[in-house]
Amino acid sequence: MTYLRGHWQLLAITAVVFALWSTPVVLPLKFLVVFFHELSHALMAMLTGGRVESLSVNFQQGGEVWTRGGSRFLTLTAGYLGSLLIGVGLLLIALRSRMDKAVLAGIGVVMLVVLVLYVRDIPAIIICGLTGAALIAASRFFSEQICDLILRVIGLSSLIFVPYDIWDDTIRRSYLRSDARMLAEEIGGTTMIWGGLWFLVSLAVIYWCLRHGLGRDSNLHFGTRR
């Protein structure tokens, strides 16, 4: 009961996002999660000496990144696990700091920079442009606590749906041309082996976040300063 009282808001957010996940209401969240996934591929490619040719997110909640050079193993692995770490980071920033406005604006700026540098198709231009502008506007016009709430929703969405996506894309439907399928073809092993490893790692990271990152009380108390 103590845990429920201390974290009931996060539990409620999770329940609402799950309930609405198949509706148009959460399409912006889905686009953001996909963007984080593709951005993680792109960043790892660059960090390992490669370069990014283009990045795309589409209206079917899919995406792709074209890269040259870099570590294929790390670049392919970075998609799911990178977006998971982004989710953890955003959630902990919301819980532990007053940087909510700056971080929301930062996400928006990153989306617009990626749009200018790497986006080549109309759907991705619309998605990155509108979402990036909306996040910057939210950081400008909303209160710190509303921005905190938005950041929690974004962080939780990226956090909790990574293991679901891994399971659905690499284990339940292992025939799909997923990151795990490409890794199996290029490095060895099977789609389900890589997907299973990523799934276990994602659960471990989520457990650590819930066990050590939330503290005793994660609830927002509107009307008071944190």
Residue 13's nearest CA partner among 152, 176, 184, 195 is 152
Alpha helices in the chain (DSSP H): 2-20, 27-47, 72-96, 100-118, 122-141, 144-166, 179-186, 191-208
pLDDT category, 58, cuts 50, 70, 90? Answer: very high
CB 41 within 8 A of CB 75: yes
What is the predicted pLDDT for the residue at 4?
74
Is residue 190 domain-resident? no
What is the predicted pLDDT for the residue at 122?
96
Using CA atoms, how far apart are residues 140 and 95, in angstroms rounded to an integer? 20
Is residue 213 domain-resident? no
Out of 2-16, 60-74, 166-180, give the one with best mean pLDDT: 60-74
Q: Which of 10-19, 46-55, 156-165, 210-219 bottoms out in mean pLDDT, i.e. has the lowest? A: 210-219
Report the chain's mean pLDDT, rounded to a whole number. 91
pLDDT category, 223, cuts 50, 70, 90? Answer: low
What is the predicted pLDDT for the residue at 1?
65
Return all residues near 8 (Cβ < 8 A) that are at least 6 apart: 219
Span 18-43, average pLDDT: 93
**Could you please report the per-residue DSSP string of 53-114?**
EEEEE-TTS-EEEEEESS-HHHHHHHHHHHHHHHHHHHHHHHHH-S-HHHHHHHHHHHHHHH
Is residue 133 domain-resident? yes
Residue 150's nearest CA partner among 138, 158, 162, 137 is 138
Is residue 219 domain-resident? no
Longest distance between any two alpha carbons in the chain, whole Å: 55
Is residue 210 domain-resident? no
Is residue 132 domain-resident? yes
> What are the tens digits of pLDDT across the range 91-134?
999 998 889 999 999 999 999 999 999 999 999 999 999 999 99
Is residue 224 domain-resident? no
What is the predicted pLDDT for the residue at 57?
96
Span 63-77, average pLDDT: 95
Scan for tokens 């103590």, then name that residue.
Answer: 2
pLDDT of 225 above 60? no
- CA distances 60 to 28, 56, 96, 166, Å, are 12, 11, 34, 17
Is residue 98 domain-resident? yes
Return all residues near 50 (Cβ < 8 A) that are at least 6 apart: 67, 68, 69, 70, 71, 75
- Residue numbers of the domain that contains 104: 2-64+72-159
Please report, to the nearest 10 degrees, the dihedral formed by the alpha carbons of residues 123, 125, 128, 132 taken in order.
-140
pLDDT of 90 above 70? yes
Please classify residue 143 by burial: count the beta carbons closer than 10 Å to its beta carbon, then call 0-12 exposed, 13-18 middle and 19+ buried: exposed
Number of domains the chain contains = 1
pTM: 0.92
